[in-house]
Structures are given as structure tokens and as C-alpha cells.
Amino acid sequence: MIDTTLIWDKCLEDLRYSVKDNVFTMWLRPLSAKQEGKNLIIRAPNDYFVAYIQKHHLADIKTLALKHSQGEIEEVIACVDNHQNAAPFVEASAYDTEEIPKNIIDDKVPKINEIDRSFAQAVADDAAEAKSLSYLNPEFTFDTFVTGKSNQLAYKACFELSKRQPKNRHNPLFIYGPSGLGKTHLMHSVADCYVKMNKSFYYFTSEKFINQLVYSLRNNKVEAFKKKIKKVDLLIVDDIHVLAGKTKSSNEFLTLFADFTSGDKQLILASDRHPSQMTEFDERFRSRFSWGLTVAVEPPEIDTRMQILQKKAALHQMVLPRECALFIAQNVVSNVRRLEGALNQVFANANLTGAPITLEMVQFALKDVVAMRVQAVNMDNIRKVVAEYYNVSVKDIMGRKRTRQIARPRQIAMALARELTGDSFPDIGQSFGGRDHTTVMHACDKVAELRACDPNIDKDYKALSLMLQAG
């Protein structure tokens, strides 16, 4: 029999890179799988999960299962995991009458066993929902998190927070940075420590928070919804920027904010940018988001990328030679998730061919990744990406205008070209409208000077470099 766990892990790994982070965390991570003959049974917490998976992801899962099982899996079936949904005894007082399904409140009084079944289902659904909100990725702990200059402050803040010592608490803790750099890993690590101390938590993506709040508002259950959340010790809300423009949802969140930033409770928020840059929110929100401690998670430098690769390889009980780790780290720079994806591609190649992991094998396994990077890092694309970033035209960058709004992007484009392509100053000058090599040299020196004294210029430069190297 095939290793179902391995097959399912591979399916999840592929799905992880084909859907949004919040969709993966909310809908796919809580699933489990088992094999029955030629069928792969996907087990979900409740009927709502099953319907969603059948509508949006079942076809993709079937394709991946067929691929990774080499044809041994012929069918994929999604169903409710009855064992998982077995609800503990809950006193009737825990439920308001409004929580009884509408089919019970009818002109015709239902039979006692019908009420029992409906109530039991309500309890089971509530338990399943609580389970999905308190799901933790077992791989996301402080022990498995690799620290470096790019994330050290965020790591220390989360680690100190996990001890629950008043002097180390910052409430709220606001973590920001691009997707795929480890924000969710850190938040799950804190929650993992809370669980070990017998404390409770809920983890929401903003999208899930909005969906549940809208459902509660429509069914006059918003107070019950908030009451349930207020019972936990730790509230985590990921992608908080998604709440922007959702007036009712954001206002209801403010009431929860007040509860979780006082007393012994803790609030952790995550976003793709600093609170001051979240201009879609009014000042009430931006100021509250900044009440506690705000920490950044930035793209990892090459040494950290190599450490991440070595640690992931050790977890897979694989040996990754240093030169191989260096090659991967040099060619995958945008985020940790793509780094892991490249490593998985190398491991899959090694498993399928039985070949040892050597630099030649890694270069072959990642030839498409390298080709995409090389394709992205060329003069035409550098000019195009920089022009779009600064909202100017490529024609202006190639032209002779010397206004600051044109000259500065032109200088940054030249500096990026020098760093990323390694082309000579004369060659770069020719690629920018036939300019002299001294103009390019001046541009590179000027950009280096500006980056050293202006954090915004440095941030823009790093962002553009990552965009180009990500492919």
C-alpha cells in the first residue's frame, strides 16, 4: 500500500502554492486524508467544509493525488470526519434560543428526536468551528523557525510574548511584511506555547473573520459570536488590512480590540504593511494598531536562506551539501515559501531518480526556476518594472528629461542593472539611450549614497530587486 500521509503532504504542498495564503490556512490545512482501496478519502470538520472543498478544490486534489500516487489513487472523495466532529457534552444554557435551527421553530412542533438531532448537529458544528479556529500547524514552532537579521526582532517579540510575563508583553503585537516570510509561523508558535500552558486561542484570517461576522449579523447572532471570541486568552488576526472598507466588520472588530488589549488577554495582528501606511483605515484604527509593538519581517538575507534550507533538509532527513544550498539561495530570493518549494522540487527529483543530491543535479532540477529568474533580470524588464513602480513611462527613463521624478527612477534602474546583470558601465549606458559610462557610474554612486541616508529609497530599491529576482 502506498504511504497515504506522504501523498497527502505532497498534495498539500502543491496546493499551498496555487491558492492564497488565507484560503490554504482556512480551508485546506484542517483537512486530513486516508486511503480506502483505490480511493483517497479527504476528511473535513463539517458539511460546510465538504461543500466548499467539492466546489473549489476537489478536482485539483484529484489531479495531484493521481500524480503523486503514480496512478494508484483513482478517486478522491470528500466527507465529514465524524470522529473529529464528536462534540463534548455542552449544557443547554450555553446556547440561546436563537441558536436553535429555524426548522425547529415551526407551527408544527417537531418530535423530540428531531429536536435532539438538530441540537446535536448545532453542537457538533460549533465544536467543529472552534476546532478550525484553534488549528495549529504542528511544523510552526519556535524550534523550527530560522532567525536572521531580517526577522530577529519579530522573533524575539513573539518569543517573549509566549512566556506571558507582564513585563515582556506588548499589546497589541503588530507584525508586518510581505507574504511568505514567516509571519504565520511566528503567530502559530506563540499559540503553540499558549496551548502548552493550557490557555486558549483563536486564529482568524481577516477574510474568515468577515465571513463569520457577516453570517452572525444576518442571523442576529453577532453578540453570541463576539461572546465566543472573548472567552479565549489569545486572539490572532492575520491579513488585518483586508478589513479596510468593511465598515460594520471593522467597527465590530474595534470592540474586540478593546477587550483583548486590556486585562490578561493578548492580541496579535499581521499585515503586509506598517500601520502608518494603511491609509484605507481612518486614524482610529491606525493609532490603535500602533499602541503596542510594531515589528517587521523582511525578506531573508542569503545566510538566513541557506540556514532555512539546511534546517528543512534536516527535517526531511535529507543531506543538502553546502554548495547546493548556496545555489538555491542565490536563485530563490523573494520569500521563504518559494525557497521551500524549490527545495521540495530537488527532493522530489532525488526520490524519483534515486540520484544523490549534487550541484549538477540541483541545477538540473531547478533549471526552470533559474530560467525564469534570468528572464526577469534583463535590461528591458528592469526598465519596465522600475517605470511601473514609479508610475513613469519607459520612454521617459530612456529619454533626456532631468526632472527629479524622472531622473531618480532612471538612476535606480541603472544601479539595479549593474547589480543584477553584472554588465559593464558602457553596456548599461548604451541600454539607457546611449549614455556615457560615467553617467552610469555616477548613478550607481548616487543611489548607494541615497540608500545609506534615506530609508525610503533603500526600501524601494530592495523591493524592486526582489520583484525582479522573483521571476
The beta-carbon contacts of 366-373 under 8 Å, at least 24 apart in sequence, are 366/327, 366/328, 366/331, 366/342, 369/331, 369/332, 369/342, 369/345, 369/471, 370/331, 372/471, 373/331, 373/469, 373/470, 373/471
67 in Cβ contact with 22 (< 8 Å): no
Residue 397 pLDDT greater than 70, yes or no: yes
Task: Round to whole Å and give the CA distance between 57 and 62.
Answer: 9
Q: For the chain, what are the domain ranges?
A: 4-80, 92-133, 142-296, 302-375, 377-469
**pLDDT one-digit tens code per residue, 76-86:** 999 987 654 33
pLDDT given at position 365: 83
Residue 67 pLDDT greater than 90, yes or no: no
pLDDT given at position 159: 92
Task: Round to whole Å and give the CA distance between 158 and 152.
Answer: 10
Among 2-6, 212-216, 340-344, 450-454, the minimum mean pLDDT is found in 2-6
pLDDT given at position 376: 63
pLDDT given at position 373: 67
**pLDDT one-digit tens code per residue, 124-141:** 445 455 555 667 778 888
274 in Cβ contact with 268 (< 8 Å): no
- Of 1.10.8.60, 3.90.1300.10, 3.40.190.10, 3.40.50.261, which CATH number belongs to 302-375? 1.10.8.60
CATH 3.40.50.300 fits 142-296, yes or no: yes
CATH fold of 377-469, please? Chromosomal Replication Initiator Protein Dnaa; Chain: A; (1.10.1750)
Asked if domains 4-80 and 302-375 share a fold, the reply is no
- Mean pLDDT score of the chain, rounded to an integer? 79
The cell numbers describing 31, all together, are 483537512
Task: Round to whole Å and give the CA distance between 271 and 178.
Answer: 8
Nearest CA to 221 out of 257, 252, 178 is that of: 252
- CATH superfamily of the 4-80 domain: DnaA, N-terminal domain (3.30.300.180)
In this prediction the pTM is 0.56
Q: Considering only residues 89 and 328, tell me which one the structure prediction assigns the higher pLDDT.
A: 328
Residue 415 pLDDT greater than 90, yes or no: yes
Interaxial angle between packed helices 455-469 and 379-389, expressed in degrees from 0 to 180 and rounded to the nearest 10: 130
The sign of the dihedral angle between the CA atoms of 172, 227, 132, 139 is: positive
Once rounded to an integer, what is the mean pLDDT over residues 199-218?
Answer: 83
Task: Round to whole Å and give the CA distance between 337 and 333.
Answer: 10
pLDDT given at position 89: 30
**pLDDT one-digit tens code per residue, 267-317:** 999 988 888 878 778 788 888 888 889 998 888 888 888 888 988 888 878
